[in-house]
């Protein structure tokens, strides 16, 4: 394959196999690795799908030692990014997107993708020029969640949001200057894009200006410093609460 | 000092200085570091408190290179853990504790401490034998939040919870086998301990058995895999929502 990604971590590899959405070139496994239930599962999936299984010496793993691979690496096709136009043409009613504006730490991006999948968010949107795209660390920290959600890559988040707004989507920006708390708005009965910014810089001004709603997470002390993946989880799960209880804000 | 901790990261050092709760031995700063506003602030605090400021060559930082220190390290007294008995004797009405049962990743512990401080939680409780105590990485990832909350260290979380229960505290355990969602319980008008478990193993059986309430975070897909610091944030902020709106579950 010309363009190959690597996936490491037993769970990430199992999720990628289960999803059926990735093209596996081969799986490389260390000869010195003791088999366990997860390795057996990987072998079984690989055998059923005709994916080559290569036993390798320790030395062949040396160049991947920056990753905590624990003796198993899968070489796969990169994830297929979804075009915004395709997503807009095919989404369900009351759909939801999380847009990360300038979030750089791949561990945070991975954790946010896990949360989005747990919460039934329909897509994650990543700008190609601001922040980090899907890489090995995002794959790993997403624990395979990356295979269960549409990932939309956009060149300009501003024009993507404008396009969405013209098509009956509402833009919700997380902004600590807002007067509204995150539970003050009604997430139901609409398509929404939730925009989360970088931990320090926040969301860019041009996006704040496009927002239909601005919300903040209230702070009970002077110390204003939530991790961005925690903040995203808090807001998304307020949406889940409203959705499951059928209760808007009262 | 016999027992010295190190703090790295400009924000963590500033928060520790501001808190006035740490005993600084000295601050070591790289000669090749360009001053910036945060370094100036550190210098100012240090000068006002009579803390020695040591300019050091690059080589003196070599042994700290496992940390992302960026040229500034503070040598300080370790944090003062609070005794459970002292905490119980002095807490305010409707107080709250978060107990981490077996959480090992210091990045998660740091992020959870940040969330606890933002949400006005009164104390964090860490078992001395299961999981990780406060170390350099917890200090750093807490972004200084560690200096703004009581940290209770206990040998046995089970006997600590028993003692709390005898003293009018309620135990809430996060347990994905529960029938109750996290927003189904009423966090108000009581002292509570929220117990969060390790990402994979969950909470130990003996603690589940002690719990007055068991709650789960609902999953909207089959993919059940929230990061523990995200999960803690979601539950704690449901408490904040109830507290700020005065609204219990309806």
| d(CA B2, nearest CA chain A) in Å | 31
Rounded CA-CA distance B51/B38 in Å is: 16
B148 vs A114, A223, A244: nearest CB: A223
User: Sheet containing B213-215: which strands, arranged edge to edge?
Assistant: B150-154, B123-127, B96-101, B191-197, B169-174, B213-215
What pLDDT, on the 0 to 100 scale, is given for residue B248?
A: 62
CB contact under 8 A, A230 and B115: yes
**CB proximity A158 to B under 8 Å:** no
Helices of type H across A22-151: 37-49, 84-90, 106-118, 136-141
- The SS3 of residue A228 is helix
What pLDDT, on the 0 to 100 scale, is given for residue A9?
A: 85
Mean pLDDT in chain B? 91
What pLDDT, on the 0 to 100 scale, is given for residue B2?
A: 47
CB contact under 8 A, B114 and A148: no
Q: pLDDT tens digit string along B220-233?
A: 998 878 999 999 99
- Residue B103's Cα: distance from chain center in Å? 11
Rounded CA-CA distance B183/B240 in Å is: 11
CB contact under 8 A, A107 and B107: yes
What are B223's two structure tokens? 């993919």
Rounded CA-CA distance A158/A166 in Å is: 12
Q: Is the pLDDT at A1 greater than 70, yes or no?
A: no
**CB proximity B19 to A under 8 Å:** no
Q: What is the DSSP letter of B25?
A: E
CB contact under 8 A, A219 and B114: no
Regarding beta strands B96-101 and B123-127, do their DSSP bridges make them parallel or antiparallel, or are they unpaired?
parallel
Which positions 223-242 of A are in contact with B (Cβ < 8 Å)? 223-227, 229-234, 237-238, 240-241
Domains and CATH numbers, chain B: 5-76 (3.30.1330.30), 84-245 (3.40.1280.10)
Find, in chain A, the residue whose alpha carbon is nearest to that of B110.
A227
Residues of chain B neighbouring A184 (CB-CB closer than 8 A):
none
**CB proximity B111 to A under 8 Å:** yes
CB contact under 8 A, B114 and A237: no
What pLDDT, on the 0 to 100 scale, is given for residue B1?
A: 41
Q: Is the pLDDT at A250 greater than 80, yes or no?
A: no
Rounded CA-CA distance A70/B186 in Å is: 43
Q: pLDDT tens digit string along B129-184?
A: 877 888 888 988 898 899 999 999 999 999 999 999 999 999 999 999 999 999 99
Q: For residues A113 and A138, is the Cβ–Cβ distance under 8 A?
A: yes
**CB proximity B62 to A under 8 Å:** no
Residues of chain A neighbouring B124 (CB-CB closer than 8 A):
none
Rounded CA-CA distance A97/A227 in Å is: 20
CB contact under 8 A, B230 and A225: no
CB contact under 8 A, B220 and A118: yes
| d(CA B104, nearest CA chain A) in Å | 16
The enclosing H or E element of B195 equals strand B191-197
Please, is A212 exposed, middle or buried when counting C-beta atoms within 10 Å of its C-beta (0-12, 13-18, 19+)?
Answer: middle
Regarding beta strands B53-56 and B24-30, do their DSSP bridges make them parallel or antiparallel, or are they unpaired?
parallel
What are B46's two structure tokens? 């240090």
Q: pLDDT tens digit string along B40-97?
A: 999 999 899 899 988 898 888 888 888 888 889 999 988 889 999 999 999 999 999 9
What is the average per-residue pLDDT within A7-29? 90
- The SS3 of residue B202 is strand
Radius of gyration of chain B (CA): 20
Rounded CA-CA distance B175/B178 in Å is: 6
The residue to which tokens 């895999």 are assigned: B225
**CB proximity B37 to A under 8 Å:** no
Record the pTM: 0.91
Question: Phi/psi class of residue B96: alpha, beta or left (left: φ > 0; alpha: ψ in -120 to 50)?
Answer: beta
Q: Is the pLDDT at A2 greater than 50, yes or no?
A: no
CB contact under 8 A, B229 and A229: yes
Lowest mean pLDDT among A19-23, A186-190, B72-76, B168-172: A19-23
Q: For residues B235 and B241, is the Cβ–Cβ distance under 8 A?
A: no
- Residue A27's Cα: distance from chain center in Å? 24
Regarding beta strands A72-76 and A24-30, do their DSSP bridges make them parallel or antiparallel, or are they unpaired?
antiparallel
Q: pLDDT tens digit string along B41-54?
A: 999 998 998 999 88
Regarding beta strands A24-30 and A53-56, do their DSSP bridges make them parallel or antiparallel, or are they unpaired?
parallel
Q: Is the pLDDT at A131 greater than 80, yes or no?
A: no
Q: pLDDT tens digit string along A30-57?
A: 988 888 999 999 999 989 989 998 889 8
What are A96's two structure tokens? 């939801």
Q: Is the pLDDT at B215 greater than 90, yes or no?
A: yes
Find, in chain A, the residue whose alpha carbon is nearest to that of B243.
A220
The enclosing H or E element of A201 equals none
Query: Buried b vs exposed e over A32-62: b needs ≥16 C-beta within 10 Å?
Result: eeeeeeebeebeebbeeeebeeeeeeeeebe
Which positions 172-201 of B are in contact with A (Cβ < 8 Å)? 181, 183
Q: For residues A53 and A78, is the Cβ–Cβ distance under 8 A?
A: no
Residues of chain B neighbouring A148 (CB-CB closer than 8 A):
221, 223
Q: For residues A29 and A39, is the Cβ–Cβ distance under 8 A?
A: yes
CB contact under 8 A, A115 and B226: yes
- The SS3 of residue A122 is coil
What pLDDT, on the 0 to 100 scale, is given for residue A99?
A: 97
Find, in chain B, the residue whose alpha carbon is nearest to that of A199.
B143
Residues of chain A neighbouring B146 (CB-CB closer than 8 A):
none
What pLDDT, on the 0 to 100 scale, is given for residue A248?
A: 62
């Amino acid at each position: 394959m010309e363009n190959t990604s690597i996936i490491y971590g037993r769970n990430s590899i199992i999720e990628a196999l289960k999803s059926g959405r990735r093209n596996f070139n081969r799986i490389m496994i260390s000869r010195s690795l003791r088999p366990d239930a997860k390795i057996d599962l990987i072998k079984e999936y690989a055998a059923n799908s005709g994916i080559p299984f290569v036993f390798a010496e320790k030395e062949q793993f040396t160049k991947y030692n920056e990753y905590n691979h624990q003796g198993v690496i899968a070489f796969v096709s990169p994830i297929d990014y979804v075009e915004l136009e395709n997503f807009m043409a095919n989404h369900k009613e009351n759909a939801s997107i999380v847009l990360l504006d300038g979030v750089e730490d791949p561990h945070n991006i991975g954790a946010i993708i896990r949360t989005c999948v747990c919460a039934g968010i329909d897509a994650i949107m990543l700008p190609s020029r601001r922040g980090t795209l899907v890489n090995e660390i995002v794959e790993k920290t997403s624990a395979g969640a990356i295979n269960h959600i549409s990932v939309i890559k956009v060149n300009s988040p501003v024009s993507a949001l404008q396009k969405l707004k013209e098509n009956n989507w509402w833009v919700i920006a997380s902004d600590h200057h807002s007067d509204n708390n995150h539970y003050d708005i009604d997430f139901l009965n609409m398509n929404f894009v939730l925009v989360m910014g970088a931990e320090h810089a926040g969301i860019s001004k041009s996006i704040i200006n496009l927002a239909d709603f601005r919300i903040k997470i209230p702070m009970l002390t002077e110390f204003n410093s939530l991790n961005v993946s925690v903040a995203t989880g808090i807001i998304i799960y307020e949406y889940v609460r409203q959705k499951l209880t059928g209760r808007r804000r009262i």
